[in-house]
Structure formats: C-alpha cells, structure tokens
C-alpha cells in the first residue's frame, strides 16, 4: 500500500508523498492503521494458490526422483 502511494503522480506540481516514513506517518494520521492493510485480501488470493501449486509440484517431483 505504501509503494502504491509513493507512485502517485504530482498534482499541480505538488508531491503529497515524499518518502517511506513520511508516507507511513501520513497514512496512519489521515486514515488510521487499518488503511495499511488495504489490498491484502486480493494479494493473498493471488499469492497463496501460486505457492500451493509450487509446493505440490516440488513434492511430486521430489517423490518421483527419490
């Protein structure tokens, strides 16, 4: 979420987010700690099945080679 904020373009030549710590503090102050977890569910829905497939393939290949 912080990375997304840092990529935002300038508005009228003014950059709202300038660095990691400044962005973190600003988001927590404006939106609360809960905002730091925005996008976590879609990310997990993308990452977890991929990791499960990777481990399954690893285990099948390892059992065939052993």
Cα torsion 39, 43, 46, 47 to 10°: value is -170
What local confidence, expressed as pLDDT, does residue 2 receive?
Answer: 87
Put simply, whether the predicted model's pTM sits higher than 0.75 gets the answer: no
The pLDDT tens digits of the residues spanning 3-44 come to: 889 999 998 999 999 999 999 999 999 999 999 998 899 999
The pLDDT tens digits of the residues spanning 47-65 come to: 999 999 999 999 999 999 9
Residue 65 near residue 56, CB atoms below 8 Å: no
What local confidence, expressed as pLDDT, does residue 66 receive?
Answer: 82
What local confidence, expressed as pLDDT, does residue 22 receive?
Answer: 96
């Amino acid at each position: 979420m912080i990375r997304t904020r840092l990529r935002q373009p300038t508005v009228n030549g003014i950059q709202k987010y300038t660095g990691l710590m400044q962005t973190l503090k600003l988001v927590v102050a404006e939106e609360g700690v809960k905002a730091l977890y925005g996008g976590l569910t879609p990310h997990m829905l993308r990452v977890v099945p991929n990791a499960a497939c990777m481990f399954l393939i690893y285990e099948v290949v390892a059992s065939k080679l052993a």
